[in-house]
Amino acid sequence: MSTSGPAEGEGDTPRVAEARRRAAQREHRQSARMHLALWVVMGLIVGFAVPGRPRLGFTGEGLGISLALAGCLVPLSLAALDREPRSRAGTAVLPLIVGVSGNALAVLRPTLLMEIPVATAVAMLFARLRPRTALLLAAPLVVAIAVITTTSVPSGISLQAGLSSVLLCVVLGASYVFSRQARLGQNRTELLLAELEDSREAEARAAAVAERTRIARELHDVLAQSLSALSVQLEGARKLAERDQVDPALHRLIVRGGELTREGLSDARRAVAALRGDDVPTLHQLTALVDRCRRDLGLPIALSVTGEPRQLTPDANLALYRGVQEALTNAARYAPGSPTAVLLRYTAEGTTLTVTDQGRPAARRADGDEGNGSGDDSGNGFGEGSVAAARAWTGGGNGLRGMRERIERVGGRTHAGPQGRGWNVEMEIPG
């Protein structure tokens, strides 16, 4: 059965597409109920029309009854089997054939409930067409069956018979009008709610982008410009150190400080780009990050990847990347020179990143973050240069607490704690 509904668009969002799918399901259920009712009606028509006299035949009055009965049953069968024409004219033709044939059958074979075919035709018209169009087509059928039933029964009950025929047609027609309008109204309501939710999400995303842009602008104006100025000052200090031939160790520190400042400036620019929704660090850049850590922090790092790589969201990628960065920085700060393993695993349950060093047992740092080793930068058997480099390389990190917050915001879990004489950090993103 063809009925009108919300027009389907090519660029529907998932929420709008789901609303349209539910609307199609409701239309299918209503059509299925209508088809079942048509089979019941056909059974009633056959049960009341076939017995009695004159019998069905191929001549005379019997031929007329056969043709009228076929005019009722064939269109109803097509409608029940959903084999009806899909054009607008075809939608109206089948009910009109049933109505006209039903009136003819009522004239040729007056029986009990002779108005059933006409009432069914009226119901089909109101279920398929707009109410005004259905009313114009159904009115002649209703008037005709009312006249036929009034004249074909004894005069004592003729008026009641005619009114009952009209009432049956009106009740069936009205019930299908209300059912169709209720379904279409529910479809429109769900579609509007879905579009409203989409517009609210778009508005929230726009507000978030505006706020992130504002923060990025402030970060660029404050941090990036300050680092740029610091880089210029360190470059000047390097040239003065070369001119005055200062201690080589001091010269190396100034040179390395300039390199770290430039890298920090690059990190700041990447952070600004991430806030603006531009380039966001991903796990594809993990090898480059590990290479930087080997060079800058003096860590012997072993990187391994297992499983089939999967596509992660930008936020999940950034959370894991920053988590590894923080874990490696802590390893260099609290267990400098310790062999460190970075393991990236893709499993059916999710993506897991583990960073493990072989330093001394864990202790709590004075600032409240958990750290590797004893927390004492002196007396650890390693030079102070790598510890200072780790502090500079961190670039304003928030420690393990910030790592946990990042991972939890994308639905993941973080575990950090001692493992043997070292420290283990594990981050997991499900799905």
Residues counted in the chain? 431
Asked if residue 428 has pLDDT above 90, the reply is yes
Q: Which residues contact 302 (CB under 8 A, 6 or more apart)?
A: 339, 340, 341, 342
User: What is the reported pLDDT for 388?
Assistant: 44
Work out the average pLDDT over 280-308. 86
Work out the average pLDDT over 70-95. 83
Asked if residue 425 has pLDDT above 90, the reply is yes
Work out the average pLDDT over 267-272. 72
Asked if residue 387 has pLDDT above 70, the reply is no
Which of the residue ranges 51-55, 214-218, 335-339, 371-375 has the most confident prediction, judged by mean pLDDT?
A: 335-339
Residue 305's H or E segment, with its range, is strand 301-306
Nearest one of 37, 28, 213 to 123, comparing CA atoms: 37
CB 359 within 8 A of CB 372: yes
Which of the residue ranges 86-100, 270-284, 387-401 has the most confident prediction, judged by mean pLDDT?
A: 86-100
- Percent over 70 (pLDDT), the chain: 83
User: What is the reported pLDDT for 10?
Assistant: 60
Asked if residue 371 has pLDDT above 60, the reply is no
Predicted confidence band of residue 391 (pLDDT cuts 50, 70, 90) = very low
Q: Of residues 380 and 153, which shows the higher confidence score? A: 153
Q: Which residues contact 217 (CB under 8 A, 6 or more apart)?
A: none
Distance of CA 277 to the CA centre of its chain: 21
CB 55 within 8 A of CB 62: yes
Distance of CA 147 to the CA centre of its chain: 58
| Number of C-beta neighbours around residue 243 at 10 A | 8
User: What is the reported pLDDT for 100?
Assistant: 93
SS3 content of the chain, % helix, strand, coil (to 5): 65, 10, 25
Query: How far apart are the C-alpha atoms of 427 and 412, rounded to whole Å?
Result: 7
- Percent over 90 (pLDDT), the chain: 16
DSSP 361: P
Work out the average pLDDT over 128-153. 88
Domains contained in the chain, CATH given: 14-200 (no CATH), 281-431 (3.30.565.10)
Asked if residue 28 has pLDDT above 60, the reply is yes
Query: How far apart are the C-alpha atoms of 71 and 102, rounded to whole Å?
Result: 8
- Of the candidate ranges 136-145, 207-216, 220-229, the one whose mean pLDDT is the lowest: 220-229
CA-CA-CA-CA dihedral for 70, 72, 75, 81, to nearest 10: -100
Query: What is the average pLDDT value for the chain, to the nearest integer?
Result: 80
Statement: the pTM of the whole predicted model exceeds 0.85 = no
User: What is the reported pLDDT for 356?
Assistant: 93
Asked if residue 351 has pLDDT above 90, the reply is yes
User: What is the reported pLDDT for 386?
Assistant: 45
Q: What is the pLDDT of residues 155-182, one digit of tens each?
A: 777 788 888 889 988 998 888 888 888 8
Predicted confidence band of residue 52 (pLDDT cuts 50, 70, 90) = low
- Token code pair at residue 145: 């069956």
Asked if residue 344 has pLDDT above 90, the reply is yes
CB 420 within 8 A of CB 341: no
